[in-house]
Amino acid sequence: MAPKGTNSKKESGRAKKAENEAKKQEAAAAEKERKEAEKWTDKDVKGGKAKKEEQEAKRKAELARKAENARLLAEEEASISSGKAKATGPKKKAAPAPKPAGPGAIAAGGGLGLSAAAPSTSKSGEPEVESFAATGIDNALDLLEVVTAKMDKASVGQQAAKIEQHPERRFKAALEAYTERELPKLKEDHPGLRLQQYKDLIYKQFQKSPENPFNQTTVSYDASKEDKVEALKARRAEVEGRLREK
């Protein structure tokens, strides 16, 4: 018999109500924890993206700095060359034998041919200084390659010998090496993707990479030494025409 003054139904209802309230609080706590975890995951993803963008910005800045240094060096060499030309006076002499082009030879008027041409002259008879400008990573790399190239006969021969005759043979090995190097970086910057997604991203990047054999100067498999030299000359002429300031 229930004690006097108590109501078993009322007590049972209170217990059930307390149990339901506890379940609600537990569910609310779990939902809060889930949202907090999602927030931190989102921060990690954004943080990785920001880090990659910062690294890319630093790399672009370094390339731009090198290109600017090369341009300033070329202008300095051109200024010295112009001063020497004025100091010699109006005496006419036979044109000196062309000197090998080194860094800055482009801006000094050396041209991009396989032998350095004489500096172009203006109507006043003074040497004209050609200037070049590159915007974007690809153009900056092209300009750096050109302005730092040595143009003596031996150096040209070495460069021509390295021209790719069978890019398709090196493509697979080059892609594998590129993938091996870039995959850990992508996993760090974009965690949680499937392996095939990482490989697809790497392949797209490789299509524009200078490490891709098909993005390098190429000649046919039976090309002669002269053909390679001409291909090298055409490549430099193309860069010169594209990046020369109008």
* pLDDT for 235: 67
46-92 pLDDT, tens per residue? Answer: 667 777 888 888 888 788 777 776 776 667 667 666 665 555 555 55
**How many whole angstroms separate alpha carbon 132 and alpha carbon 109?**
11
Indicate the pLDDT class of residue 177, thresholds 50, 70 and 90: very high
User: In angstroms, what CA-CA distances link 212 with 64, 72, 134, 156, 216?
Assistant: 22, 30, 21, 22, 7
Identify the top-confidence range among 12-16, 75-79, 139-143.
12-16
**How many whole angstroms separate alpha carbon 181 and alpha carbon 175?**
10
**How many whole angstroms separate alpha carbon 220 and alpha carbon 230?**
12
Spell out the alpha helix ranges (H) of the chain.
8-87, 137-147, 153-161, 167-189, 195-208, 225-243
N-terminal to C-terminal alpha carbon distance within the chain: 108
* pLDDT for 11: 77
pTM score of the predicted model: 0.31
**How many whole angstroms separate alpha carbon 105 and alpha carbon 75?**
9
**How many whole angstroms separate alpha carbon 147 and alpha carbon 243?**
12
Residue 143: is its pLDDT beyond 50? yes
Residue 181: is its pLDDT beyond 90? yes
Nearest to 209 by CA among 160, 135, 137: 137
**How many whole angstroms separate alpha carbon 176 and alpha carbon 171?**
9
DSSP annotation of 108: T
* pLDDT for 160: 54
Mean pLDDT for 97-101 is 43
Task: Give 112 or 65, the one with higher predicted confidence.
Answer: 65
